[in-house]
Amino acid sequence: MEQPRATVSHYKFKLMPEFFVNYHEIARQSPDSKVTTQPSLGLIDQPYSAPSNTQPDDEPKKPWERFAAYINQLNAESPDSVTYKIIYLTRHGLGIHNVFEAKVGREAWNNYWSHLDGDGTVSWVDAKLTEAGIQQAEALSQFWTDAVTTEKVSLPESLYTSPLARCLETTRLVFSQPMEQSGEPFQPVVKELLRERLTDHTCDKRSTRTWIEGHYPSYLIESGFSEEDLLWSPDRWESVEEHVARKQKVLEELFAQDSSSVISLTVHSYAISAILRACGYEEFRVREGSTIALLVRGDRIGLS
């Protein structure tokens, strides 16, 4: 695996928790200590300051419509060095590796099974979704379709996904229908740095670029994406600090290069934790096949 280079952060990210429900409290109250998709994606209905040049609406707006307008206002009135983005984090549906780990136990999985390609019956190299995982993603897609239609939840303006198969397929199952029904293009971007924390587990080794292009021809693959997996190694774990730095880098790329104010990232459990830490926020766990919504402020603090 390439060693991370010592780099200077060009953005400072801050999660703005006051707009959404308390995810930590939800996790504490959950039987498995994991957050699930919340009604209205957890948005708290509250008043926002309106621009002075606007007239009252004849019809009251839905909470998400008012929130989206407020974010647009924030971005318009903020200095050029400050950007706000609504970020949807979707954890992939239940994978083959998740089921097998639960079957044999974490210790046996970590010490033995995770280093193999499979058990002779199923393979978990670049682990695929189980049937239950597919059903989770399809149910989440219906949630999105209903939320966009009835509650005017903002659709992602940009879709990004980890290159691991379980995320590629979750992205297709969850977002293709609501995007297409709304007349928006479905063209997710595959980003290498969005993948899970790198371990010596074979489930974290990705497939080739050719395999991804063949199975997901509508997806856009970022420039510089290699044919073979150059990051995974069978004898090295990425430290938590290295993983957070990797997620910091991908957030910097998104804030610097994508003008969209609403973006979606389909990722993994520990990837979500690393993103939260990069935003200076205490991590919590998210259940498979769930979406959470965040508001993140990015302050540009340096130039390359």
For the cut 80, the answer to whether the pLDDT of residue 232 exceeds it is yes
For the cut 70, the answer to whether the pLDDT of residue 1 exceeds it is no
| Amino acid, res. 113 | W
Reported confidence tier of residue 201, pLDDT bands at 50, 70, 90: very high
Burial class (CB in 10 A: 0-12, 13-18, 19+), 266: buried
For the cut 70, the answer to whether the pLDDT of residue 52 exceeds it is no
**Whether 205 contacts 168, CB under 8 Å:** no
Structure tokens at 66: 């008012």
Reported confidence tier of residue 49, pLDDT bands at 50, 70, 90: confident
For the cut 90, the answer to whether the pLDDT of residue 48 exceeds it is no
Residue 5: what pLDDT? 43
10 is catalytic: no
Residue 74: what pLDDT? 96
Query: Is 154 in a helix, a strand, or coil?
Result: coil
Q: What's the DSSP call for residue 123?
A: B
Architecture per CATH, 17-44+64-93+128-300: 3-Layer(aba) Sandwich (3.40)
Considering only CA atoms, which of 220, 225, 232 is closest in space to residue 127?
232
DSSP string for 181-202 = HTT----PEE-GGGSPPP-S-G
For the cut 90, the answer to whether the pLDDT of residue 102 exceeds it is yes
Q: Name beta bridge partners: 221.
A: 190
Helix (H) or strand (E) holding 180: helix 165-181
Burial class (CB in 10 A: 0-12, 13-18, 19+), 186: middle
Q: Which residue in 92, 97, 201, 243 is the catalytic one? A: 92
Q: Tell me the mean pLDDT in the region 185-210.
A: 97
**Whether 13 contacts 248, CB under 8 Å:** yes
- How many Å apart are CA 140 and CA 67, to the nearest integer? 22
Reported confidence tier of residue 60, pLDDT bands at 50, 70, 90: confident
Q: Tell me the mean pLDDT in the region 262-272.
A: 98
Q: Which residue in 192, 196, 238, 252 is the catalytic one? A: 196
For the cut 70, the answer to whether the pLDDT of residue 99 exceeds it is yes
77 is catalytic: no
**Whether 247 contacts 274, CB under 8 Å:** yes
Q: Tell me the mean pLDDT in the region 156-184.
A: 97
- How many Å apart are CA 125 and CA 303, to the nearest integer? 39
Which residue has tokens 């399809």?
Answer: 138
Reported confidence tier of residue 55, pLDDT bands at 50, 70, 90: low
**Whether 283 contacts 17, CB under 8 Å:** no
The reported pTM is 0.93
Q: What percent of the chain has pLDDT over 70?
A: 93
